[in-house]
């Protein structure tokens, strides 16, 4: 979908190689690298999101492949995006 405009990141790839995937994303956006992006969970700033507790944790692999539970419901959307 929209090559060179959208940067696809698979969750499984991201949790397996957080730094490599993050560096590729930052480069795609044309932004300068800052090591602090790898310590996102250490921020003291307020977080207003339903997943606020998760935002305060380092990356984890516990959610890998959980999307497959909804594969039958997602298939029509995925087919349209392909």
The DSSP code for 49 is S
Higher-confidence residue of 48 and 20: namely 20
Residues 6+ apart with CB under 8 A from 47: 55, 56
Domain boundaries, the chain: 11-81
Between 47 and 6, name the one with better pLDDT.
6
Tell me how far apart the terminal alpha carbons of the chain are, to the nearest angstrom: 7
d(CA 21, CA 77): 25
The pLDDT score that the predictor gives to residue 1 is 54
Global confidence as pTM: 0.66
Distance CA 82, CA 78 (A): 6
> How confident is the model over 24-82, as pLDDT tens digits?
999 999 999 999 999 877 877 777 777 766 777 777 787 888 888 888 998 999 899 87
Do residues 23 and 33 make contact, with C-beta atoms less than 8 angstroms apart?
yes
Give the pLDDT score at 60. 74
């Amino acid at each position: 979908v929209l090559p060179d405009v959208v940067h696809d990141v698979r969750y499984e790839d991201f949790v397996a190689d957080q730094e490599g995937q993050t560096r590729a994303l930052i480069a795609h956006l044309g932004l300068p690298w800052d090591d602090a992006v790898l310590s996102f969970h250490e921020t003291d700033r307020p977080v207003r999101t339903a997943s606020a507790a998760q935002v305060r944790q380092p990356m984890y692999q516990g959610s890998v492949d959980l999307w497959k539970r909804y594969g039958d419901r997602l298939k029509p959307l995925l087919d349209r995006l392909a």
